Amino acid sequence: MASKGHKISFISTPRKIDRLPQIPQPLTPFITFIKIDLPKVQNLPDHAESTKDLPFNKVRFLKIAYDGLQTPVANFLKRSSPDWVMCDFLTYWLGPIAAEHGVRMAHFSVVPALMLSFFGSPDVAMYGDDSRTRLEDFTKRPKWVPFESEVRPSIFQLTRNHEHLNAVEENVSDAYRLGATIRGCDAVVVRSSYDFEPEWLNLLKELYQKEIIPAGLLPAEATEYSNACWIQTKHWLDMHEKGSVVYIAFGTETKPSQYELTQLALGLELCGLPFYWVLLDQRGLSDDEVIELPRGFEDRTRGRGVVCRGWAPQFQILSHDSVGVLLIHSGMSSVVEGFQLGKPLVLLPFTADQGLIASYLVEKKMAYMIDRGDVDGSFTPESVAESLCFVMASEEGKMYREKAKEMMALFGDKGAQNKCVDELIHFLYK
């Protein structure tokens, strides 16, 4: 939007803004960062301003702190009088504040429409649905979905999300936050496209009775790095044959359990394939449950595998010819980056949103998912090894390699993406 001459004010907390990459010089006149200090609340560690800074059991305190931003955000809207304000679901209180100051509000969803649809209408999200009283009920297709679909989360994925979906102590549940945000907004902008999930986008229009505008799939932009980390990584990748390396990453927030880490590591060892693994073993300094690789794993796989415990230039690594398969959690950013580069996907979802996206990709035969127990999430090293080898090299798995190449046209089409942004801007002018 800034590249088309529109002025953007990006509001966030200081540490989050400081983490952002440098804006390209031609765009600096159009983007202004607005830093608002996060209020201090009890039980929230110092310097924790995002979910990646915290273990799961402390994330709710971050949300409580964000609720303390209402006054400074209201003051900004009053002072600057923007045409629109876009927000995620956390700031469920923003709708009435925006309306009071004559500012239109749009909810921007980083998850696709299929995920939003599972929550139902705003009222259902806020107050629940009498037909879904047990956790098991949420693994079935909701009654308001009129078409056949096998998209669903598993029990273990829902259990992992249970605390976030329900109110805990003084915190407001994520479901209520989403419903209230939708109720208070003028439009919903979704990171999606009608080419990717037409039925779910159309359903969302019916559920919300609001304008639904796909922003496109927002493919990543190539960024050149020349630091020591990338030089060393590129040297290692250059040593391997085209399409032979497995890249493993589960995003900046998904931390496996100790059991999951062990099974995954043993599976990587068993498969014999070269791998590059970006491992999150701790969520912030206050996370005292640091997971550990099996004893001797890194020694036994030295030369064949790399374990990176820090930041890695993911898009640049995925762009390398030696990377043949991605083992990911099914987060949309990783899905988009993989497909825009034509890399086949092996999926290992951990939480409900990841499970829904993964099951949709499997339903559309776009990706392959490692088999896990529905109730306890169990899986074996053998299933990891077999899944990777199946997609990487087998004749039967060729369909996934071909599908990934086919998906490049959908996920990497900059022209289609530009059209979505143009249509979004046209709507905002109305």
Q: What is the mean pLDDT of residues 368-373?
A: 96
Same domain? For 172 and 318 the reply is no
Residue type at position 17 = I
In angstroms, the CA 243 to CA 397 distance is 14
Same domain? For 391 and 324 the reply is yes
Same domain? For 243 and 159 the reply is no
Written as six digits, the tokens of 252 are 């900046």
Q: How confident is the model at residue 167 (pLDDT cuts 50, 70, 90)?
A: low
Q: What is the number of structural domains in the chain?
A: 2
In angstroms, the CA 155 to CA 354 distance is 13
**Burial grade of 367 (CB within 10 A; 0-12, 13-18, 19 or more):** buried
> Any idea what the Cα angle at residue 179 is, between residues 420 and 283, rounded to 5°?
80
Written as six digits, the tokens of 299 are 């020694």
45 domain residue, yes or no: no
63 domain residue, yes or no: no
Average pLDDT, the chain: 93
Written as six digits, the tokens of 197 are 């999930």
Same domain? For 273 and 145 the reply is no
Nearest partner of 85 among 8, 14, 178, judged by Cα: 8
The predicted structure's pLDDT at residue 154: 93
Same domain? For 345 and 381 the reply is yes
* Contact (CB, 8 A) for 413 and 404: no
* Contact (CB, 8 A) for 30 and 50: no
381 domain residue, yes or no: yes
Nearest partner of 221 among 77, 23, 399, judged by Cα: 23
Q: Which of 65-74, 120-129, 217-226 has the lowest mean pLDDT?
A: 217-226
> Any idea what the Cα angle at residue 101 is, between residues 96 and 105, rounded to 5°?
55
Q: How confident is the model at residue 226 (pLDDT cuts 50, 70, 90)?
A: low
273 domain residue, yes or no: yes
Same domain? For 315 and 344 the reply is yes
Same domain? For 395 and 285 the reply is yes
Residues 140, 145, 150, 156: what is their CA dihedral angle, to the nearest 10 degrees? -40
Read off the CATH number of the domain in which 160 is found.
Answer: 3.40.50.2000
Q: How confident is the model at residue 168 (pLDDT cuts 50, 70, 90)?
A: low
Residue type at position 237 = L
20 domain residue, yes or no: no
Same domain? For 387 and 271 the reply is yes
262 domain residue, yes or no: yes
Q: How confident is the model at residue 165 (pLDDT cuts 50, 70, 90)?
A: low
55 domain residue, yes or no: no
Q: Which residue has the tokens 């979905």?
A: 145
In angstroms, the CA 414 to CA 221 distance is 10
296 domain residue, yes or no: yes
CA distances from 238 to 20, 226, 228, 269, 395 (A): 29, 15, 15, 21, 26
The separation between CA 122 and the C-alpha centre of its own chain, rounded to angstroms, equals 22
Per residue in 301-330, pLDDT tens? Answer: 999 999 999 888 899 999 999 999 999 999
Per residue in 38-51, pLDDT tens? Answer: 999 999 998 899 98
Written as six digits, the tokens of 411 are 């996920």
Q: What is the mean pLDDT of residues 178-188?
A: 97
Same domain? For 270 and 165 the reply is no
The predicted structure's pLDDT at residue 171: 77
* Beta-sheet strands, E only, within 274-373: 275-278, 305-308, 323-328, 345-347, 368-369
The predicted structure's pLDDT at residue 330: 95
Domain that holds residue 205: 69-219+413-429
Same domain? For 259 and 369 the reply is yes
Q: How confident is the model at residue 169 (pLDDT cuts 50, 70, 90)?
A: low
Same domain? For 104 and 233 the reply is no
Same domain? For 207 and 111 the reply is yes
0.85 exceeded by the pTM? Answer: yes
